[in-house]
Amino acid sequence: MSRYLRLYAHFLRFSFSKAMEFRVDFFFRVVMDIFFYAVQFAFFHIIYLHTPILAGWDLEQMRVFIVSYIFIDALHMTVFSTNCWWLPIYINRGDLDYYLVKPVSTLFFLSLKDFAANSFLNLLIAGSLVVWALTNYPAPLEPIKVVIYLLLLINGTFLYFLLNLIFLLAVFWTQSPRGYGDLFFSVSHVMERPDRIYKGVVRKVFIFLLPFAVMASFPARFLMEDNQWHLLGVIFGVTTCFFLLVQVIWRLGLRNYSSASS
Partner 1 sequence: MELRRTLTYRADFWVNFIGQTLFSIIIAYFLWSSIFETLNVEVLNGFTMERMIVYYLLVPLVFRIQQGQTIGSISREIYEGSLNKFLLYPINFYVFKIITHFAGAAFYFAQIFVIIGLYQSFADNVIFEMTFLKFVYFSIAMFGISIAYFCLNSLSELVAFWADYIWSLGVIIRFAVSFLGGALIPLSFFPEWSMEILNLTPFPYMISFPMKILLGEVLLKEFLFNMAVLTVWTLIFLFFSRLLWNKGRYRYTGVGI
| 113 versus 178: smaller Cβ distance to partner 1 | 178
In the chain, where do the E strands start and end?
none
Stretch that binds partner 1, among 33-41, 132-140, 157-165, 228-236 (CB under 8 A): 33-41
For the chain, the residue count is 262
Among 180, 218, 242, 250, binds partner 1 (CB under 8 A): 180
* Shortest spacing between CB 14 and partner 1, in angstroms: 17
Kindly report the number of other CB atoms within 10 A of residue 105's CB atom. 13
Beta bridge partners of 224: none
* Shortest spacing between CB 8 and partner 1, in angstroms: 25
List Cα–Cα distances, 154 to 5, 149, 215, in angstroms: 18, 9, 9
Percentage helix, strand, coil for the chain under 3-state DSSP, each rounded to 5: 80, 0, 20
Dist CA 86 CA 96 (whole Å): 11
**Position 244 contacts partner 1 (CB under 8 A):** no
**Position 146 contacts partner 1 (CB under 8 A):** no
- How many helices, marked H, and strands, marked E, lie in the chain? 14, 0
Among 136, 176, 256, 259, binds partner 1 (CB under 8 A): 176
Among 2, 3, 6, 49, binds partner 1 (CB under 8 A): 49
| 66 versus 149: smaller Cβ distance to partner 1 | 66
Stretch that binds partner 1, among 6-14, 26-34, 62-70, 156-164 (CB under 8 A): 26-34
How is 115-138 classified by DSSP, letter by letter? --HHHHHHHHHHHHHHHHHHHT-S
**Position 28 contacts partner 1 (CB under 8 A):** yes
DSSP state letter for 20: T
Binding site for partner 1 (CB under 8 A): 21-22, 24-25, 28-29, 31-32, 35-36, 39, 42-43, 46-47, 49-51, 53-55, 174-180, 182-183, 186-187, 189-190, 193, 196-199, 202
